[in-house]
Chain A
Amino acid sequence: MSSKGIRASFWQAILRDWHYFMYTILSILVLMINAFPIWSFLGVYPQLYLYILYFGTLYYPPMISLGGIFLAGLLQDGIYGYPLGFSSLEFLCLHSFLISQGRYLIRGDIALSWIGFGVFCILDLLLHNLLLSYIFEQSLSFSLCSFGTILTICTYPLGLKLLYAISKKIG
């Protein structure tokens, strides 16, 4: 194959898969936004990546890959200083849960989806707390992050609308 041919197929592949790239970049951006100092300033820590995970797994399954979730977990560990693999394990377990229960959630209306998201967030809080308690070798209080979880659940329709608009733009 000539170099021109290789270059053409490379760009074709980029054009074909650019929306996957965009979704991955969006995921990374959301993780970065979650680490902004503004959250410490406000004293509330929402779990913004859960929107991406929930929305991607249920409504745009081809956009979200296992590798992407693994990478997002590694990035989160890098940002907050968790042991490497901690967030990946958490996200992958949640993703597996969504895959097993997703068919019941997408059949319903927005209210059911919202309730499903609430259960999903609480499950994340439990898993996060459980894993961290094991790593830190001390029982952690749920109050540390429950306010952030409540905020994440309450703003679900807003996040859903925003992600839907972005996903439409991405294609």
Chain B
Amino acid sequence: MFMARTFKRSVVAINKFFFTILFITISAYCLYLSSVQHPILSSLESMMMDVTTPAVHFLSQPVEWTKEYIRNNDSLREEINRLREENKKLLDWQVLAQKRERENQYLKEMLNTDPNLPNSIVTTKILGIPNDGYRSTMLIANSSSLDLAKNQAVVCPDGIIGRIINIGMTTARVMLITDLNSRIPVRVESTGEQAILSGQNNPRELTVIHLDSSSSPESQLSTKKDPIKIGDRFLTSGYGGIYPPGLPVAVVTNVQNGVITATTISDVTRLEYVTILKNTVPDDVE
């Protein structure tokens, strides 16, 4: 009886050990396939993203409403006063804009430009910004009509937000410029110096990891170099082929011991919609 019980216990323990090893091996193999971007695992990843995103979006709605309510109440009065002032100014501007529009139309006709330009941008809703301290990604709504593709640049009226890294049936994942893996080729607006900005997984902080002073036309002409100072703006340089040149990225907020820190111009936590630039897709860029 005792022997039988001991044997049964041993069998259960061996069974459990075997299954633990099996599951760990499956996980490790999945991880390996995923890191080499196996097509089956990539589609599985997209599927998991499609499954989890609506659930997270649905469950986080009460939190979002509460946050929005608090934010709205705080700034409502200030906003009303500001809007009244702005409205007065806008009415003046409206008259001027109508005049400029007529003028613009006339000049376009003179230049013989085609008004039916291809639709190169699409706008979509933000579904969530999950962050666990290591990854900064944004989930956006997708549909077949949007025709999104990997590596398309995602922007907002303020500037660059990130690029698309994964596409599902109903959702897409955007790697934000603040992600640890994000590297953006930029140039300093005032001096033209080339640099590379890296994300720190801080909500709005970026660090310059490479600065090439010799590349700027200004520095090639003169021997005296202007150092980067607080308030300088970084614009996309267009190198790398993902982001079009000239889009605002960040503003220098700290220069200390050779370490340059910048703050992103766009604040993703306050956005509801983003715009995707569809004409910049080198698919092989990683």
Give A residues with C-beta under 8 Å from B. 28-29, 32-41, 43, 45, 66-67, 69-70, 73-75, 77-86, 88-89, 92-93, 95-96, 99, 128, 132, 135-136, 138, 140, 144-145, 148
Is the pair B59, A80 in contact by a Cβ cutoff of 8 Å?
no
Contact A35 B130 (CB under 8 A): yes
The answer to whether A138 and B180 touch (CB under 8 A), given A84-B48, A86-B31, is: yes
Pairwise interchain contact A84-B67, C-beta atoms closer than 8 A: no
A-B contacts, 28 of them at CB < 8 A, read: A28-B55, A32-B52, A35-B130, A37-B128, A37-B129, A41-B67, A66-B20, A75-B48, A75-B51, A77-B45, A77-B48, A78-B52, A80-B131, A80-B137, A81-B49, A81-B135, A81-B137, A81-B165, A81-B175, A84-B41, A85-B26, A85-B27, A86-B27, A88-B30, A128-B134, A132-B134, A136-B181, A144-B133
- A-B interface pairs (CB < 8 A), number: 140
User: CB distance A36 to B132 under 8 Å?
Assistant: no
Taken together as a complex, chains A and B put the C-alpha atoms of A69 and B24 apart, in Å, by: 11
The answer to whether B190 has its CB under 8 Å from any CB of chain A is: no
Additional A-B contact list (12), CB under 8 Å, known A81-B45, A84-B31: A66-B19, A77-B48, A78-B48, A81-B137, A81-B175, A83-B34, A84-B41, A99-B20, A132-B134, A136-B181, A140-B134, A140-B180
Given known pairs A37-B269, A136-B180, the reply for A79 and B130 (CB within 8 Å) is yes
Which residues of the partner chain A approach B135 to less than 8 Å between Cβ atoms? 80-82
Known: A84-B48, A85-B29. A37 touches B60 (CB 8 A): yes
Which 4 pairs show the lowest CB-CB distances between chains A and B? A85-B30, A78-B48, A83-B34, A85-B31
Flag whether B166 is at the interface (Cβ < 8 A).
Answer: yes
Which residues from chain A contact B49 at a C-beta distance below 8 Å?
Answer: 78, 81
Question: At the interface, yes or no: B272 with Cβ under 8 Å from chain A?
Answer: no
Which of A89, A135, A145 is in CB contact (< 8 Å) with B132? Answer: A145
Smallest CB separation, A73 vs chain B (Å): 7
Bound: A35/B35 CA distance, A: 23
A64 to B31, CA, bound (A): 23
Q: A37-B128, A81-B165 are in contact. Are A32 and B29 (CB under 8 A)?
A: no
B52 CB → nearest A CB, Å? 4
- Complex: A78 Cα to B133 Cα, angstroms: 16
- Given known pairs A81-B49, A83-B31, the reply for A40 and B203 (CB within 8 Å) is yes
What's the Cα separation between A36 and B260 when bound, in Å? 31
Chain B min CB distance to A151 (Å): 11
Q: Mark B109-134, 1 if CB is under 8 A from A, else 0.
A: 00000000000000000001111111
Instruction: Determine if A89 and B52 form an interchain contact, defined as CB atoms under 8 angstroms apart.
Output: no
Report B-chain residues with C-beta under 8 Å of the C-beta of A75.
Answer: 48, 51-52
Asked if residues B60 and A83 are in contact (CB atoms below 8 Å), the reply is: no
Determine which residue in A33, A78, A86, A135 has the highest number of CB atoms from chain B within 10 A of its CB, and name it.
A78
**CB <8 Å contact, B201 and A144:** yes
The complex places the Cα of A11 from the Cα of B201 at a distance, in Å, of 48
Residue in contact with A84 in the complex, picked from B45, B173, B180, CB distance below 8 Å: B45
B104 CB to closest chain A CB, in angstroms? 41
Say yes or no: is B23 at the interface (Cβ < 8 Å to chain A).
yes
- Name the contact of A95 in the complex, choosing from B20, B44, B51, B128 (C-beta under 8 A): B20
B64 on the interface (CB 8 Å rule)? yes
Task: Given the known inter-chain contacts A36-B60, A81-B49, A132-B134, please indicate yes or no for A70 contacting B23, CB distance below 8 A.
Answer: yes
- Asked whether any CB of chain A lies closer than 8 Å to the CB of B255, the reply is no
User: B4 on the interface (CB 8 Å rule)?
Assistant: no
B35:A135 contact, CB within 8 angstroms:
yes
CB distance from B201 to the nearest CB of A (A): 6
Q: What's the Cα separation between A37 and B34 when bound, in Å?
A: 27
Contact pattern, B 129-154, Cβ under 8 Å of A = 1, otherwise 0: 11111110100000000000000000
What is the chain B residue whose CB lies nearest that of A92?
B24
Q: Is the CB of A80 within 8 A of B132?
A: yes
